[in-house]
Amino acid sequence: MKTLKDMAALAAPLLPLLLLTLSATALTAEPRPGNQGSTIGASLAPTAEQLQSLIAHLIENQHSNDRAIEEYERIEHVTVHKDGDSSEVVSERTERLLPSGTGIIHLQTAQSSPPVTPEARRQQLQYAVSALELYLHPNDHVRQDVAKFEKRRRDRADLVDAMAKAFRVTGAGRETRGSRTLLKLLLDPDPNFKPATRLAAAFEHVHAVIWIDESQAQAARLEIDVTSDISFGGGIVAKVYHGGHFVMEQSEVAPGVWLPTLYAYDVDGRKFVVGFNIHEKTEVSHYRHVGPPSQSIEIIRSELNNLTAETPAR
């Protein structure tokens, strides 16, 4: 599982993007005036109008959140299992993710295995500075990358908007998870939905459950189940098998900003005749606002200068 997979990719790389897009109502933006951040009476079931309004606000929040996360670096710890969460661990990695303006720069950390050496860290920071400089002063190749990134952003936004029409939402009471009482919503495919794209068509094959913090109009947890096979190219190009399961959790990382803290995938399928499986858990932590590339490059330059002063290059 990776965040923001290329939408042009197929099968295994495509599925995480699809599932993350399905999590649109679980992401956030700043609370707004009015009743969208208020709590529906704890003993009252939300009305159909309240549910409709809540979903509309969550969709708006997703668009804002997609923009916000492009200015946050974070640490990801990824555990890959052979089959499921309780099966043999195939690999583990810990990486620092830095937004680049056209995607993500992956950097090793002190927690990486094996631990990153000062020289390797210096080289990675130099690479990050060079990549950010290219974004700020692009050549033709980088301009193409920027255009592709903008297209992925627009495509994702269109897919998020399609969610408002793809599901029927019903309330399922409230549950206490940890220290919070959350509103539970069930999302079932709307048989009247007419998908405009092949990705939107996948909404017809999943069911979802969302737990929402009503006081901030944000969702704390999302679970998605693939209830029937999802085919691409009539099943010839790729297929995601039914029985797949996805979980996402998130929390507030800055005032009014909630970002993902956990992803868990258990999905199987095939691309052409080659099978694939995604059985991963990603824990996300240490969010830090670094701003757009014009600001984050100064942060990385400062780190590089400090590291060079501590351990001069040979």
pLDDT at 34: 33
Spatial separation of the C-alpha atoms in residues 296 and 291, rounded to whole Å: 6
Q: DSSP state, 272? A: T
Domain ranges in the chain? 11-310
Task: pLDDT tens for the chain, 314 residues: list them.
Answer: 332 233 223 233 334 445 444 443 332 222 233 333 444 455 577 777 887 777 778 778 878 878 899 999 999 999 998 877 777 888 999 999 999 999 999 999 877 777 788 889 999 999 999 999 999 999 999 999 999 999 988 888 888 788 778 888 888 888 988 888 899 989 899 999 988 887 788 889 999 898 988 888 887 898 989 999 888 777 677 788 899 898 989 888 988 888 999 989 888 888 888 888 889 999 999 999 999 999 999 999 999 998 877 765 55
Q: Which residue has the tokens 């043999």?
A: 88
pTM above 0.85, yes or no: no
Burial 197-225 (b: 16+ CB within 10 A, else e): eebbbbbbbbebebbbbbebbbbbbbbbe
Query: What values do phi and psi take at 215, rounded to 5?
Result: -65, -25
| Sequence-distant (≥ 6) Cβ neighbours of residue 285 within 8 angstroms | 74, 75, 77, 261
pLDDT at 314: 53
| Sequence-distant (≥ 6) Cβ neighbours of residue 105 within 8 angstroms | 97, 98, 99, 127, 128, 131
Residue 115 preceded by cis peptide, ω within 30 = no
pLDDT at 33: 31
